[in-house]
Amino acid sequence: MGLESVIEQSKEGYYLALRRTQGTIGRAAPEWTPWLTFFLKALQCQMRRLREKVERERLLLVRLPDLSLRLLDQARDHGRISIGDAQTLTGANRNTLKLHFKALRERGLLVLHGQGRGAWYSLP
């Protein structure tokens, strides 16, 4: 949910602030306060939403094994990761890595692309 959704949810306030400000545009000193106040409150609401989302994701990640966290970090830093990359990075057994990748996919934290040895994973 972006800033647009915050504005969409408070359309009445948006249009009221816009009308109040637009009504003063022709003056020597336009009154920007209604629009700026609305916009800053919308940003504050979006910031709260993002903070809550980050906290939920942080709590989710805390429950992951260290190896899974390393796989996610690699996917985030490089845009993708394969089992071969993960073996090189971690030195872990291929079957162990497959289990971690499967668990990450099931939790919706990674997306599988392709099949077999050419398969790779990315963040959703």
Q: What is the DSSP string of 27-60?
A: SSS---HHHHHHHHHHHHHHHHHHHHHHHHHHHH
Residue 6, pLDDT above cutoff 80: yes
CATH class in words for 65-122: mainly alpha
Residue 16 has pLDDT above 90, yes or no: yes
Alpha-carbon span 3 to 32, nearest angstrom: 20
Q: Is the pLDDT of residue 122 over 90?
A: yes
Instruction: State yes or no: pLDDT of 61 exceeds 90.
Output: no
Residue 39: pLDDT above 90? yes
**pTM tops 0.85, yes or no:** no
Q: Quick check: 91 pLDDT over 80? A: yes
CA–CA gap between residue 49 and residue 51 (Å, rounded): 5
Give 20's pLDDT tier (boundaries 50, 70, 90): very high
pLDDT reading at 62 higher than 90: no
